[in-house]
Structure formats: C-alpha cells, structure tokens
Amino acid sequence: MAKLKILKVGDETLRKKSRPVDKITPRILTLIDDMAQTMRAANGCGLAAPQVGVLRRIVVIEAEPGKLIELINPEITEASGERECIEGCLSVPGKYGLTKRPERVVVRALDRNGNTVEYVGTELLAQAFCHEIDHLDGKLYIDIVERMLREDELE
C-alpha cells in the first residue's frame, strides 16, 4: 500500500466530475486500499478519489474507528431531515465551516467485489456520505458553507 498525495483547494482536478467505474480491476482495489491508508494517515474520516487526483467515483469513509466503508459508484437514493454541521476537509486544511446537511441518507453503491450494497447513515455518517459524494461531482463543502469558523469557535 502507498500513501497518496492529497490535492488542496485550488487544484482544478477537485472541480471536475468523476467518471463511473466500469470494471473493478486489481488497480481499482489497490487505489481503494491506498485511499484508506492515506485517509487514516491524515486523520480524516473520508476521502474521495478526486482528492488524490483520480477522477473515478470511489469513496472511502471511516466515521467510526475500525468500520471502513468502501463505495464504488455511490449514489444517494434518499435524504431526509436537516442538521447543522461543523465541516472540514483534507483538501481544505485547517479550515472549518458551518453547513447544513441531511440528518439521514441512504446510499447505494458497489463494494470491492462488485456487489450492490446499501447503507443508511445518520448524523456524522450522513454528513460524510454527502461530503464525499459531493467531491465526485466537483463540489467542496466551501461551496455550501454558511459561515467559516474562527479557531476559538472550534474549542
């Protein structure tokens, strides 16, 4: 496994729409493994392939330690409720803002074996699903932020 370089805001790759994965190859599986290692090394709870320069619809999320979720071609099929979130991003280091995200989402995707999987996420997991899937469409949380936070507001 390899630790990948995380692109930062300003890199035009982050603003491009990712292509679906047509076939799960050994190269795709290696990418997923490398993304998980990179996310953990950066102390993140999610990482999308565009953040490491790969315009494919792949996401890894670990909102709870030890519970890695790997999503290929994810889509949100249901969203309900609304909650205010403090949001940050590995591609926007050291900055945080207030956003509004759904309280609950249902996501359908493929797993690493090509099986269709469905996840129901609430609170932080719902936020992570929305945040990472936004990356696949070239969107960053700073596009929807209501207000950026000062450092003293994070304590």
Going by C-alpha positions, the residue among 104, 83, 90, 92 that lies closest to residue 146 is: 83
Active site residue 64: no
Looking at 12, 132, 151, 155, which residue is catalytic?
132
Q: Are 52 and 28 in contact (CB under 8 A)?
A: no
Q: How big is the chain, counted in residues?
A: 155
Alpha carbon distance 142, 137 (integer Å): 14
- Phi, psi (5° rounding) for residue 134? -55, -40
Alpha carbon distance 100, 6 (integer Å): 25
Catalytic residues, by residue number, are 132
